[in-house]
Structure 1
Amino acid sequence: MLGNIPVVVINSAAAARDIFGSNAQVLSSRPELYTFHKVLSDTAGTTIGTSPYSDSLKRRRKGAASALNRPSVATYVPHLEVETRDFIKELYTFGDAGRTPVDPMPMIQRLSLSLALTLNWGTRLKSQKDDLFAEITHVEEEISKFRSTTGNLQDYIPILRLNPINGHSAKAREMRNRRDRYLTDLNNGLDERIANGTYQPCIQANVILDNKETKLTKDELTSISLTMLSGGLDTVTTQVAWFVALISQHPEIQDKAVREIRKYYAKEQPMCDENDDQKCAYIVALVKESLRYYTVLRLALPRASVKDLPYNHSVIPKGTMVFLNAWACNMDDAVWSDPEVFRPERWLEQPEAPLFTYGVGYRMCAGSLLANRELYLVYMRLLNSFHVRKYDDVDCHPVTGNADPTSLVALPPRFRSYFVPHDNESLQKALDVAA
Structure 2
Amino acid sequence: MAIDALFHTLQANAIEHPIRFFLISLIILPIAYLISNEFVRRQARVSGLGGPIRLPVFGNLWEIRVNAAEKYRQWARKYGSVYQIQLGNVPVVVVNSAASAKVLFGQNAQALSSRPEFYTFHKASSHTRIFESLKRRRKGAASALNKPSIQTYIPHLDVESKDFVSELLRYGKSGAVAIDPMPMIQRLSLSLALTINWGTRMGTQENALFDEITHVEDEISRFRSTTGNLQDYIPLLRLNPFSFGSKKAREMRNRRDVYLNSLNRGLEDRMEKGTHQPCIQANSNDVVWGLDTITTLLQWSIALLAQRPDVQQKAWKEIAEIYAVDEPLCDALDDQKCPYIVALVRECLRYYTVLRLALPRVSIKDVTYEGVVIPRGTVYFLNAWACNMDDAVWTDPNEFRPERWLEQPDAPLFTYGLGYRMCAGSLLANRELYLVFIRTLNAFEIQQADNIDCHPVTGASDPTSLVSMPKRYKAKFVPRNVAALEQAIADFQVVDTS
What's the TM-score, normalizing by structure 2? 0.80
**Aligned equivalents of 2:282, 2:312: Cα separation in 1:** 39
Deviation at 1:23, TM superposition (A): 1.1
Is 2:307 the counterpart of 1:233?
no
**Aligned equivalents of 2:184, 2:138: Cα separation in 1:** 31
**Greater relative contact order, per chain length (Cα 8 Å cut-off, separation 6+):** 1
1:368-389, CA deviations, whole angstroms, 9 ceiling, x for partnerless residues?
A: 0000000000001100000001
Secondary structure at the counterpart of residue 131 of structure 2: coil
Instruction: Name the counterpart of 2:302.
Output: 244
**Aligned equivalents of 1:46, 1:401: Cα separation in 2:** 36
Deviation at 1:128, TM superposition (A): 1.1
**Aligned equivalents of 2:219, 2:270: Cα separation in 1:** 30
CA 1:166–1:37: 2 relative to 1, 3 Å: same
Q: Which runs of 5+ in 1 are unaligned?
A: 208-220
Q: How does 1:284-363 map to 2 (within 5 A)?
A: 284-363=342-421
Residue identity opposite 1:397 in structure 2: H
Deviation at 1:430, TM superposition (A): 1.4
Compare 114-123 and 375-384 and name the one that shifted more.
114-123
Is 2:131 the counterpart of 1:45?
yes
Secondary structure at the counterpart of residue 76 of structure 1: helix
Is 2:118 the counterpart of 1:60?
no
CA 1:343–1:97: 2 relative to 1, 3 Å: same
1:150-191, CA deviations, whole angstroms, 9 ceiling, x for partnerless residues?
A: 110001111111112122211111111111111111111111
Deviation at 1:406, TM superposition (A): 0.2
The structure having more radius of gyration, on CA atoms, is 2
Pick from 60, 70, 73 the counterpart of residue 147 of structure 2.
Answer: 70
Deviation at 1:201, TM superposition (A): 2.6
**Aligned equivalents of 2:99, 2:244: Cα separation in 1:** 42
Contact in 2 for aligned 1:5/1:156 (Cα 8 Å): yes
Contact in 2 for aligned 1:242/1:412 (Cα 8 Å): yes
1:56-101, CA deviations, whole angstroms, 9 ceiling, x for partnerless residues?
A: 4xx532x111100112111111111111111111111111100000
1:228-255, CA deviations, whole angstroms, 9 ceiling, x for partnerless residues?
A: 12xx211000001111001000100000
**Aligned equivalents of 2:375, 2:389: Cα separation in 1:** 28
Instruction: Name the counterpart of 2:432.
Output: 374
1:109-157, CA deviations, whole angstroms, 9 ceiling, x for partnerless residues?
A: 1111111111111111111111110000010011011000111000111
Deviation at 1:291, TM superposition (A): 0.4
Q: Which runs of 5+ in 2 are unaligned?
A: 1-85, 494-498
Residue identity opposite 2:110 in structure 1: Q
Deviation at 1:337, TM superposition (A): 1.2
**Aligned equivalents of 2:133, 2:394: Cα separation in 1:** 33
Instruction: Name the counterpart of 1:104.
Output: 181
Residue identity opposite 1:182 in structure 2: Y
Instruction: Name the counterpart of 2:467.
Output: 409
**Aligned equivalents of 1:168, 1:334: Cα separation in 2:** 40
Q: How does 1:77-88 map to 2 (within 5 A)?
A: 77-88=154-165
**Aligned equivalents of 1:6, 1:385: Cα separation in 2:** 50
Pick from 111, 122, 125 the counterpart of residue 202 of structure 2.
Answer: 125
Is 2:113 the counterpart of 1:113?
no
Instruction: Name the counterpart of 1:211.
Output: none
Compare 328-337 and 299-308 and name the one that shifted more.
299-308
Compare 392-401 and 90-99 and name the one that shifted more.
392-401
Pick from 355, 358, 365 the counterpart of residue 423 of structure 2.
Answer: 365
Secondary structure at the counterpart of residue 352 of structure 1: coil
What's the TM-score, normalizing by structure 1? 0.91
Deviation at 1:46, TM superposition (A): 5.7
Instruction: Name the counterpart of 2:267.
Output: 190
Instruction: Name the counterpart of 2:330.
Output: 272
**Aligned equivalents of 2:272, 2:315: Cα separation in 1:** 46
Is 2:103 the counterpart of 1:18?
yes
**Aligned equivalents of 1:101, 1:152: Cα separation in 2:** 37
Deviation at 1:279, TM superposition (A): 1.0
1:283-306, CA deviations, whole angstroms, 9 ceiling, x for partnerless residues?
A: 111111110011000011111122
**Aligned equivalents of 1:69, 1:306: Cα separation in 2:** 26
Pick from 89, 107, 120 the counterpart of residue 35 of structure 1.
Answer: 120
Instruction: Name the counterpart of 1:216.
Output: none
**Aligned equivalents of 2:462, 2:374: Cα separation in 1:** 31
**Aligned equivalents of 2:150, 2:492: Cα separation in 1:** 22
Instruction: Name the counterpart of 1:425.
Output: 483
**Aligned equivalents of 2:138, 2:178: Cα separation in 1:** 44
Structure 1 segments, 4+ long, off by >4 Å, are none
Give me the identity figure in percent.
65
Equivalent pairs counted in the alignment come to: 407
Deviation at 1:308, TM superposition (A): 2.5
Deviation at 1:367, TM superposition (A): 0.5
Instruction: Name the counterpart of 1:152.
Output: 229
**Aligned equivalents of 1:242, 1:320: Cα separation in 2:** 34
Secondary structure at the counterpart of residue 8 of structure 1: strand
Secondary structure at the counterpart of residue 411 of structure 2: coil
Deviation at 1:47, TM superposition (A): 9.7
**Aligned equivalents of 2:160, 2:292: Cα separation in 1:** 17
1:376-429, CA deviations, whole angstroms, 9 ceiling, x for partnerless residues?
A: 000011000000011111211111111111000111111111100000100111
Residue identity opposite 1:183 in structure 2: L
